[in-house]
């Protein structure tokens, strides 16, 4: 299964005759090649079949040329795309290809959804998608069987619309090299080339739309790993990069200023920190105020590095590179409690804002604005709740739940990502 690349390889029906026309109605759209759905061996026969099909084919929308129909369909909200695919075969082909979504991207009307992967108390993996526009949870196809109970696997997004699951540990088979990905455009899972090394509990990141993996553990004599590898979706293959300075099992990582920072435990359970420079393909130990005060979850947005400063994520820290310290804060002035259900499990960028996801599936949005982290007057107005499940619990309610023994999590969040379509 070929992974999507930056090129626009459309799978739209060749009979649309809309490429040149659509460019007039969709400013900024690039003309792309539309391969035939059923390619013929002889080009002359393929051209002839196109003409026959154009005369007998019904329009996408009755009464409208196909170019105008596409200009209308690309503006339909993303929540309705699943229904559009069921209308007819031509609509299904249109929405199953990159052409439709490349036009949406060029127009700046793509929508970002939050995808949350969680594990229940029995160890089973499931996932949900949240539409922040309509503030609704959307249905998704089940997670493939090989990851239904996996431990310590990685999760990352490439090309903005492909969510990858890779590596991890199967409870029966041990560490894995397997790689799969979900396409937000087709709403389906696909296979990708396996990693070069079996590993779990490793670090991963995305730089320049390439997936980097480093460290972790694997069964065998050398349990902790120093090796690192890179997946390039344009070449659709993995390759080794320079090894880390020392073996490490990372527990936190972030990309900041084009560098990949990792913090984890060494082979003797000591805390280590390293930074990877993609330009020189080299690793270096790193010390200083950034890594010493660095907490998880964390994320980089608009050149600023943010991290959670309290358990419920209602206060954020901002890294100041000039003073090499986490001296700034963004405080909501309204803290929810310290129960495991209200624990901030992920921090991700969403439409230019910071999104905090908690284990009880409540979601808060923070407008960081100009990036200043001071908790001045009106700072709490920058916080917004977009998914309120569990938000009404107060500190007293959580305290009584803990005393009564009802504070055990039904599920906890393992990974959280944002996909565009």
Domain positions in the chain are: 14-107, 112-420
The answer to whether the CB of 175 falls within 8 A of the CB of 199 is yes
What's the rounded mean pLDDT across residues 35-45? 36
Supply the pLDDT for residue 377.
44
Return the higher-pLDDT residue of 117 and 97: 117
DSSP state of 312: T
- Inter-helix orientation angle 98-107/89-96, to 10°: 60
Integer CA distances (angstroms), 182 to 27, 142, 162, in order: 29, 11, 5
Classify 62 in phi/psi space as left (phi over 0), alpha (psi -120 to 50) or beta.
beta
pLDDT tens digits, residue range 357-390? Answer: 999 999 999 998 754 544 444 555 688 988 875 4
Mean pLDDT computed over 310-318: 92
β 162-166/169-170 pair status: unpaired
7 pLDDT more than 80:
no
| Fold exhibited by the domain 112-420 | Neuraminidase (2.120.10)
Q: What does pTM read for this prediction?
A: 0.81
Q: What is the DSSP letter of 217?
A: B
Per-residue pLDDT band for 336 (boundaries 50, 70, 90) equals confident
pLDDT score of 57:
76
22: left (phi over 0), alpha (psi -120 to 50) or beta: alpha
Q: Average model confidence (pLDDT) for the chain?
A: 82
More confident residue, 368 or 28: 368
Sign, Cα dihedral of 86, 233, 142, 120 = negative
Burial 60-91 (b: 16+ CB within 10 A, else e): beeeebbbbbbbebbeeebeebeeebeeeebb
pLDDT of 375: 46
Among the listed ranges 40-44, 249-253, 398-402, which one has the minimum average pLDDT value?
Answer: 40-44
Instruction: Give the DSSP H/E element, type plus range, for residue 329.
Output: strand 325-331
* Three-state secondary-structure class, residue 82: helix
Task: Kindly write down the DSSP assignment for every residue of 100-123, as one continuous string.
Answer: HHHHHHHHT---EEEEEEEEETTS
d(CA 264, CA 273): 7
């Amino acid at each position: 299964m070929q992974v999507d690349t930056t090129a626009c390889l459309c799978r739209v029906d060749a009979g649309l005759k809309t490429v040149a026309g659509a460019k007039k109605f969709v400013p900024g759209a690039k003309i792309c090649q539309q391969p035939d759905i059923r390619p013929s061996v002889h080009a002359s026969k393929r051209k002839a079949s196109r003409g026959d099909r154009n005369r007998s084919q019904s329009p996408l929308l009755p009464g409208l040329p196909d170019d105008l129909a596409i200009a209308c369909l690309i503006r339909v909200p993303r929540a309705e795309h699943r229904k559009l695919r069921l209308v007819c075969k031509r609509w299904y082909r249109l929405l199953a290809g990159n052409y439709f979504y490349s036009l949406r991207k060029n127009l700046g009307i793509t929508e970002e959804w939050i995808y949350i992967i969680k594990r229940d108390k029995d160890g089973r993996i499931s996932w949900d998608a949240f539409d922040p526009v309509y503030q609704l949870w959307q249905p998704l196809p089940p997670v493939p069987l090989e990851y239904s109970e996996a431990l310590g696997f990685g999760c990352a997004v490439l090309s903005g619309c492909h969510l990858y699951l890779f590596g991890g540990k199967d409870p029966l088979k041990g560490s894995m090299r397997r790689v799969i990905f979900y396409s937000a455009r087709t709403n389906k899972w696909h296979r990708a080339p396996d990693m070069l090394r079996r590993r779990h509990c490793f670090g991963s990141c995305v730089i320049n739309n390439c997936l980097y993996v480093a460290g972790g553990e694997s069964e065998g004599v050398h349990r902790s790993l120093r090796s690192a590898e890179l997946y390039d979706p344009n070449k659709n293959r993995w390759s080794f990069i320079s090894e880390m300075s020392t073996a490490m099992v990372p527990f936190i990582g972030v990309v900041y200023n084009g560098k990949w920072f990792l913090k984890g435990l060494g082979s003797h359970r000591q805390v280590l920190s390293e930074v990877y420079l993609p330009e020189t393909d080299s690793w270096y130990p790193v010390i200083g105020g950034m890594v010493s005060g660095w907490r998880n979850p964390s994320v980089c947005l608009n050149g600023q590095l943010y991290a959670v400063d309290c358990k419920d994520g209602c206060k954020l820290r901002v890294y100041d590179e000039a003073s090499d310290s986490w001296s700034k804060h963004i405080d909501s002035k309204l803290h929810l409690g310290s129960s495991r259900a209200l624990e901030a499990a992920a921090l991700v960028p969403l439409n230019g804002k910071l999104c905090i996801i908690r284990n009880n599936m409540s979601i808060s949005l923070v407008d960081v604005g100009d990036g200043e982290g001071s908790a001045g007057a009106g700072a709490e107005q920058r916080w917004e709740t977009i998914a309120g499940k569990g938000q009404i619990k107060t500190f007293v309610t959580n305290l009584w739940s803990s005393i009564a023994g009802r504070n055990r999590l039904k599920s906890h969040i393992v990974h959280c990502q944002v996909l565009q379509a």
